[in-house]
Structure 1
Amino acid sequence: MSRNQTGQQPLINLRAAVVFLIGALVAMTTGALTYVSGNPVPAALLAGGAAFGASVAFAHSIIG
């Protein structure tokens, strides 16, 4: 793993950051669309959480 100018290693690598960013974007979009469609907030949170897990697993397998 490469070091930055101060000699410290990054907290997470770029691949992990991209995978989690994709998961967060998919989760927020899914939760928002679920809520806007008329479902209660807990249902939107559950849908967003499920979408986060599925999209992180998918992105992890696709991004090499």
Structure 2
Amino acid sequence: MTTSQQPSQPSHSSAAPPPCPPPAQPGDEPFLSLHSAVVLLGAVLIGIVVGGLGHLGGVHPALAVLAGLTAAGGAVPVLRALIR
């Protein structure tokens, strides 16, 4: 019968914590905040759905685009108030 030996594991008790990341520079802020990006993405999605459904429903393509743009524009203030 043989016994299996487990490899020795290094001791982590004396290891120093990882260094902190450098502070953010003034030009490092994002172009859009996360809130704005989510609101605009939701509005674009709503506009695409409304325009696509209008087009599939037999509406002239120009009117379907207009309906999608109107829905996206109307969704921005609603999503802004809902997503907080």
TM range (shorter): 0.7 to 0.9
Between the aligned partners of 1:45 and 1:11, the Cα distance in structure 2 is 28
**Alignment gaps of 5+ in structure 1:** none
Larger proportion of helix: 1
Larger radius of gyration: 2
The percent of aligned pairs where both chains have the same amino acid is 30
Aligned length: 60
Q: Higher relative CO (CA 8 A, sep ≥ 6), structure 1 or 2?
A: 1
The alignment's C-alpha RMSD in Å is 1.5
**Alignment gaps of 5+ in structure 2:** 1-22
Give the TM-score taking structure 1 as reference length.
0.85
The structural deviation recorded for 1:43 is 0.4
Partner of 1:41: 61
